[in-house]
Chain A
Amino acid sequence: MNYSKSSFFTQLGILTKRLLLRLARRPLAELPNIFISAFFLLVYDGALGGVFGGNAAGTPFDFANGNFLNFILPVSIVSASVSGGASGIYLVEDIESGVFKRYQGMPISKWAIILAPIVVGAVRVLLQATLIMTLGSIIGADPATGFLGYFAVLGMAFFWGMGFAGYSVAAGVRSGSSQGAQAATFLFFPALFLAPTFTPRYALKGWLETAAAFNPTTYVLEGMRAIMIEGWVSDLILKGFLVAGGFAFITLSFAVISAKTATEKS
């Protein structure tokens, strides 16, 4: 029988749909990350909101402009966007189970096989970040840029999440195990906490201030905070997008090179 070869985008669509089905069949796997992100939001706002926001407006921490929730929400969104790190796990699971080899034996593009988990990682990031923003909105977050601001924050979260997706794919295929891909996402913790997580950058001291200056997370948080608190402050928002986009570009390029090397015929 003669079969016409399916197009690249058809292949990508079919493979993405398969991974989304897998995602839907393991809903519990989605819970820990979304739970941690929601937990961060509620606990930090509850514990620190009274100190840095509200009645405390006018203190040196007045970056919060009276609403600490607007200040802390980006931390939870950045935390939620780490869910893009699942991309590497999806790809390595396919390599480990032999599914990848089966696809290699078919006339389908290797790039479709590698891109599909990254697309699913993107969907995961968007879903989780949207859920956190919805929760934030329900409990009182109020972006200075209005409703459109949420879309800008979501865009930045998307690029940041893609950065983690690329990083986890590279770590996964290089370590050759899904545990390797999973472990790699622990980079997130120093990345999040060596940054102006709870206070504006000017309140940090000594080595932490220096570390924060070199930590890309800092610029993403500041970009999101500008949208939430100050309005369309072009330089901070642009910096946030450039850093998140740059992170995504670098790690995705690294992922593609790693995946190409790891999946080439030996």
Chain B
Amino acid sequence: MLLAVEAKNLKKTFKTKQGNVEAVRDVSFKVNKGEIFGILGPNGAGKSTTILMLTTLLRITSGTAKINDLDVVKNDSEVRNKIGIALQDTGIDNLLTARELFYTTARLWGLSKSKSKDRTKEMLNLVGLTEAADRRVKTYSGGMKRRLDLGLSLVHKPEVLFLDEPTTGLDPGSRRVLWDEIKKLRDEGVTIILTTQYLEEADELANRISIIDEGLVVAEGTPDELKSSIGGDVITLTFRSDDDAIKAQTIIENSDIEDKQIRVTVENGAEKIPNLLNLLVSKDINVQSVSANKPSLDDVFLKVTGYRLEGEKTLIEESK
């Protein structure tokens, strides 16, 4: 497989008045050409900082990074020609129209006036903004702005596209539209590196995922590989009271508790459920519901970090 991106022991330290802050402590990964690579992690994990370093927008404290074999520090100008960037803050001039923005961007990339006009039409069509092309961007919805942002990062036909939390703040419908466009780009051969804090998004889009927590890579693989790494099925037991859940956790080995729920990973989950229920009934513990499922990325995240990604960062206690 040809490599599009290679990050080796990336580290970023910010100097602040309160002392040094290590935003990225040690991040390494390889991205193959033509794949979608997801960087999954909570806020503050170091995802955006990693993207900024890879896109030449932030100085690397130590480590190396290459895009299509070009060093991002030594060949920063060539690297910028190869990549497209859509950062978290869209960076769009709200007083201009989409047509004006595409045209200006094409001209800045060195296209002639007539080619810039042609490219503008193509891009408006690609991101579905032809009808709204002459409206000022401040009248656009969040989803339209994101699509415009994506389009602006594609004007020069980049080989590698960096998307930093592309769907954050979007409604489910707009998110789905953007996902389809990202997949279409992958099918056209564009390598895509996207950061996300949505498990569903990583599962849906990414060919491979790197989970980052507190500036470190804690797991990497395809979604299926990561899920298989847990092994077996996840049985989820829901109780009527917190007390019952706490009592149950003391009885069921290697279980995690969260509110009124206990989760335990076992081989052949469906077969184990009757015995588990008998055991709990014998101890006078009332179970409200029970289910057995294949592990999700949520379970993977919980296993490798000790907390759930979605919602507050609270450590989940595990019974020994």
Q: A interface vs B, CB < 8 Å?
A: 1, 3-6, 10-11, 14-15, 17-18, 21-22, 25-26, 97-108, 265-266
Q: Find the residue from B57, B108, B136 having the highest chain A CB count within 10 A.
A: B108
Q: Are B81 and A105 in contact (CB under 8 A)?
A: no
Residues in chain B within 8 A of chain A (CB atoms): 14, 55-59, 77, 80-81, 83, 85, 87, 89-96, 100, 104-105, 107-111, 136, 152, 156-157
The CA-CA distance from A106 to B77 in the complex, in Å, is 8
Give the interface SS of chain B, mostly helix, strand, loop or mixed: loop
Q: Residues of B contacting A14 with CB < 8 Å?
A: 104, 107-108
Is there contact, CB below 8 Å, between A99 and B95?
A: no
> Distance in Å from the Cβ of A111 to the closest Cβ of chain B?
14
Minimum Cβ distance to chain A for residue B84 (Å): 9
Would you call B95 and A25 a contact (CB within 8 A)?
yes
- Give the residue name and chain of the A residue nearest to B105 (CB): A106
Q: Which residues of B contact A26 (CB under 8 A)?
A: 95
Partner of A6, one of B83, B93, B108: B108
* Distance of B49 from chain A, by nearest CB (Å): 10
B91 contacts across to A, CB distance below 8 A:
97-102
Beyond A98-B91, A99-B92, A265-B58, is A105–B157 a contact (Cβ under 8 Å)?
no
Partner of B93, one of A1, A18, A107: A18
**How long is the Cα–Cα vector from A4 to B110 in the complex, in angstroms?**
5
* B55 lies within 8 A of A105 (CB): yes
Name 23 interchain pairs, CB-CB below 8 A, sorted by A.
A3-B156, A6-B107, A6-B109, A14-B107, A18-B96, A22-B93, A25-B96, A97-B89, A97-B91, A97-B93, A98-B89, A98-B92, A99-B93, A101-B89, A102-B87, A103-B108, A105-B55, A105-B57, A105-B83, A106-B80, A106-B109, A265-B58, A266-B59
Q: Min CB distance, B91 to chain A, in Å? A: 3
CB distance from B7 to the nearest CB of A (A): 17
A5 to B91: give the CA distance in the assembly, Å: 22
Contact partner of B57 (CB less than 8 A), chosen from A1, A5, A265, is A265
The answer to whether residues A21 and B100 also contact, given A6-B110, A106-B80, A266-B59 and a CB cut-off of 8 A, is yes
Q: How far is the CB of B86 from chain A (nearest CB, A)?
A: 9
- Quick one: which of A22, A103, A105 contacts B56, CB cutoff 8 A? A105
Q: A97-B91, A98-B91 are in contact. Are A266 and B14 (CB under 8 A)?
A: yes
CA distance A22 to B104 in the complex (A): 13
Q: Which of A1, A21, A106, A265 contacts B108 (CB 8 A)?
A: A106
Beta-carbon contact of B57 and A107 below 8 Å: no
Evaluate contact between B104 and A25: CB separation under 8 angstroms.
Answer: no
Q: How far is the CA of A1 from the CA of B82 in the complex (A)?
A: 9
State in angstroms the CA–CA spacing of A265 and B92 once bound together.
Answer: 21
Cα of A101 to Cα of B83 in the assembled complex, Å: 14
Q: Nearest-CB distance from A13 to chain B (Å)?
A: 9
Task: For the complex formed, measure the closest distance between the CB of A18 and the CB atoms of chain B, giving whole angstroms.
Answer: 5
With contact pairs A21-B96, A22-B96, A107-B80 given, residues A3 and B110 touching in the complex (Cβ less than 8 Å): yes
Which residue of B80, B89, B90 contacts A105 across the interface (Cβ within 8 Å)?
A: B80
Tell me which residues across on chain A come within 8 A of B104, comparing CB atoms: 14, 17-18
Q: Which residue of A lies closest to B14 (CB)?
A: A266
Q: Which residues of B lie under 8 Å from residue A266 when comparing CB positions?
A: 14, 58-59
Which of B56, B58, B111 is close to A3, meaning CB atoms less than 8 Å apart? B111
Q: How far is the CA of A243 from the CA of B91 in the complex (A)?
A: 39
12 more contacts with CB within 8 A, not counting A25-B95, A103-B108, A107-B81, are A14-B104, A15-B108, A18-B96, A22-B93, A22-B96, A97-B93, A98-B90, A99-B92, A104-B57, A105-B55, A106-B80, A106-B105
